[in-house]
Amino acid sequence: MKNDFIPYQQALDIIAQNAMRMETVSLPITAAGGAVLDEDLVADRDFPPFDRVTMDGIAICYKSYANGQRAFPISAIAAAGAPQSTLADPTQCIEIMTGAMMPHHADTVIPYEYIIIENGVATLGAISILEQQNIHFKASDVKAGAVLVRAGVVLSSAEINIAAAVGKANIKVKKMPKAVIISTGDELVDVHQTPAVHQIRRSNVYGIKNTLAEWGISADLAHLKDEKESILQKIKELLAVYDFFVITGGVSKGKYDFLPQVLEELGVEKHFHKIQQRPGKPFWFGTSANNKRIFALPGNPVSSFVCLYAYVKYWLQTSLGVAQEMVTVILDQEVHFQPHLIYFLEAKIHFHSSGKLIAAPIKGNGSGDFANLLHADGFLILPQEQSHFKKGAAYPFIAYKKIGPLL
C-alpha cells in the first residue's frame, strides 16, 4: 500500500475486510455466559407448556359463579408440579397453588384474599370476577419451534435463562482466538519490579489483558527487548502458536522501532501503518502467511487505548458477527481542533435530566498521560472535516468504562 497514512473510515473498512472466521465450540451452560452464541435457541415446547395458574386460591367452573353460586365445597388440592387434576363436579372447587396445571373442567381462579374457607367450603366475598382470570394459557408466550434467540448474540443472563428453559445443557458458541499481548522496549520492567530512574513499569499490557478478558478473550503476555534478531526470533515462534496479536510500542520511526521491518521479513502482509488521527497515528495492522492477525499499537497509553477500543474491538465484533451500535453524546462546550485529523478526545459522561448523555471533554498532558484515563469514561470521535465543534452538537462516543451506576 503506497499511502500508509489513511483516514479513519478506510482503516475500519480494511479491518472489516480482514475479519477472522471463528470456529464453533460447545460449552456447558454454566461456562457460556459472555460468549457469542453460534446457534439459534429454539423453543422445544410451548411456553408455557400448559394452562398455568398464576395465583394461589381456588379453581372453579365460571358457569356456576355466573348462575349465582358463591360457596364452593373443596374437592381436592392441586400443587405446582403435580399432574393435572379434574374438577368432576362443577359446583365444587379445587384449592390450587401458583404454577399448578389448571384442572380439567375448571376455567377460572379466585385468589385466597377474596375468599373465606371454613369447614372445607370456600365462600366468595362481595367481589366481581372475570371468566378465565389468573390463568397463563398454554403457548400464549411462545409456540414450540419458535426461534427465541438468534445466533450472534452475546450471552447475558437473560439468554442463559432461555437456554436452560429449552434444555440446552451445552451451548454452541464462537471460539475466541488464542491471543498474546506483547510489550516492547528496554525501558520497561515488570509490575513486581522497582524501576530505575530511566525505567518505567510495563502497564499497558495489563490494561489490555483486562480489556480482552472483558471481551471474552484470555490472553498471554510476552515482552520484546529492543534488539532486532531477538524480536524476529521471538515473533517467529509466537506466530506458530497464537492467532491474534496485540503489540504495544515499536511501530513508530525511532531508531529501535524494529517491528515493521521484522514483520515484513517474516512475511506478514501490511494492510496499513498510520491513520489520520490524534492520538494514535502510528498503528500497524497486518495478516501473516498462516492467517494470524497482528495489531501493533502505539506505546503511549492513551494512544494505545484509542486504537484498542476504536479498531481492535471493531475487528473482534466483525469477526464474531456481533451487531455494532455507536453511542452518540452531546458536547457540553465548544472545542477547537485545527489539524486535519480525526480527533479522539477524552471525555467524562453524565446524564442530563432529559435523559440525554452529556460529554465534558477532558484535556490531559498528551498521549502519555495515562493517569488522565482515570478521569474520563471514553473518547469522543470528532470528525476530520471539521475544526470547530459546537456546544450542544452530537458526536459518536467510544466508552471504555461503564457510564453511571447502571450502564
pLDDT value, residue 407 = 47
In this prediction, what percent of the chain has a pLDDT beyond 70?
94
Give residue limits of the domains in the chain.
5-22+176-320, 26-47+141-174, 52-136, 327-399
Architecture of domain 5-22+176-320 in this structure: 3-Layer(aba) Sandwich (3.40)
Instruction: Return the H-helix or E-strand segment holding 383.
Output: none
Residue 171 binned pLDDT confidence (cut-offs 50, 70, 90): very high
Residue 48 binned pLDDT confidence (cut-offs 50, 70, 90): very high
Strand-strand pairing, 357-361 and 342-351: antiparallel
d(CA 26, CA 179): 20
Per-residue DSSP letter, 142: B
Query: Would the pLDDT of 406 be above 50?
Result: no
Q: pLDDT by residue (tens digit) across 295-333?
A: 999 988 889 999 999 999 999 999 999 988 889 999 999
Question: Which top CATH class is 26-47+141-174?
Answer: alpha beta
d(CA 373, CA 363): 10
8 Å CB contact between 223 and 184: yes
Query: What is the b/e burial string over 140-177, where b = at least 16 CB atoms within 10 angstroms of the residue's CB?
Result: eebeeeeebbebebbbeeebbebbeebebeebbbbbbb
Whether CATH 2.40.340.10 fits 327-399:
yes
- Comparing 203 with 22, the larger pLDDT belongs to 22
**What average pLDDT score do residues 108-124 get?**
97
pLDDT value, residue 361 = 94
Instruction: Return the H-helix or E-strand segment holding 78.
Output: strand 71-78
Query: What is the b/e burial string over 107-134, where b = at least 16 CB atoms within 10 angstroms of the residue's CB?
Result: bbbbbeebbeeeeeebebeeeebeeeeb
Q: pLDDT by residue (tens digit) across 71-85?
A: 999 999 999 999 999
State the DSSP string of 329-372.
EEESS-EE--SSSEEEEEEEEEE-TTS-EEEEE---SSTT-GGG
**What average pLDDT score do residues 275-290 get?**
94
Architecture of domain 52-136 in this structure: Beta Complex (2.170)
Task: Name the one residue in this structure whose C-alpha cell is 476530520.
Answer: 384
Residue 204 binned pLDDT confidence (cut-offs 50, 70, 90): confident
CB neighbours (10 Å) of residue 3? 9
The strand ranges marked E within 79-114 are 93-96, 108-111
Query: What is the b/e burial string over 249-272, where b = at least 16 CB atoms within 10 angstroms of the residue's CB?
Result: bbbbeeebbbbbebbeebebebbb
Across the chain, what does the average pLDDT equal? 92
pTM for the full predicted model: 0.83
For 302, residues 6+ apart whose C-beta sits below 8 A from its C-beta are: 279, 280, 346, 364, 366, 367, 368, 369, 370, 372, 373
Query: What is the b/e burial string over 60-72, where b = at least 16 CB atoms within 10 angstroms of the residue's CB?
Result: bbbebbeeebeeb
Q: Tell me the CB-side half-sphere exposure of residue 376, using CA atoms within 13 A.
A: 25
Residue 367 binned pLDDT confidence (cut-offs 50, 70, 90): low
